[in-house]
Amino acid sequence: MRRLAPGRNLGARHLNGAYPERMQRDRPDGFEDFTELEMSWPTNTDSLVPPRGSQGLVAPIQTRFASEYARIEGFRAAAQILGEQLIKGGRPEERLLYPFASLWRHHLELQLKVLLPDLERLLGLPMSDTSEYDHSLTRLWNAVGPKLAQVFPEDDDVDRRNVGRVLSQLAGFDPDGQHFRYAVQRNGRQTLPNFRGIDAAAFHQALMNCSSFLDAALNGAGYMVAEFDPAPEA
């Protein structure tokens, strides 16, 4: 592998090489010129750990609020921010589609994985190991959907069917949580073979609606679990 001497022009020389040439040849109109991006290399003062007494914005991690719900809400908030950017202006930004759809997908997967054990508890069923479902939205919904009907029999079946239909479409695009994240599968085939494009606003709204439904189910099931098995008084 050819080594490049470090220096200010390293990035420019590298970005003008064969690999970036291919990237620039394939990129859609409107993408910045890679050679015009402002770049700097890591320095010996760069660190991912905030220094003691840091004056910057220090986000707390693993506090008592950092449960599954913090992650669920965080992925949804990030998807909403990207969604607004994606559909703004005259032309959707393709480069934002992949993280946008991946964030939505992971958010919904987390909702299903947190909801399933609550439903099983309420129905007196053995608790599933949700890791056994891997990243399959289809398998998760097949486990969650019927149990929702049992726990909330008064709810409209049409709502559940609509959620299942949209989740099935999303799983058809990305069955294992890898297709929006990577361009090529492990077997060498291109990802997203059934994906030709989206109406960004409609895609965003449909997944938001699914999220709202599952959020209501999580709140309802969580409340019932707390009633069923209340925490001991301090």
**Rounded distance between C-alpha atoms, residue 77 and residue 104, angstroms:** 9
Asked whether the predicted pLDDT for residue 3 surpasses 50, the reply is: no
- Percent of the chain residues topping a pLDDT of 90: 41
**Rounded distance between C-alpha atoms, residue 224 and residue 83, angstroms:** 33
Q: What is the pLDDT of residues 162-185, one digit of tens each?
A: 999 999 999 999 888 888 888 888
User: pTM (2 decimals)?
Assistant: 0.79
Structure tokens at 45: 């003062």
Q: Which residues contact 178 (CB under 8 A, 6 or more apart)?
A: 135, 185, 191
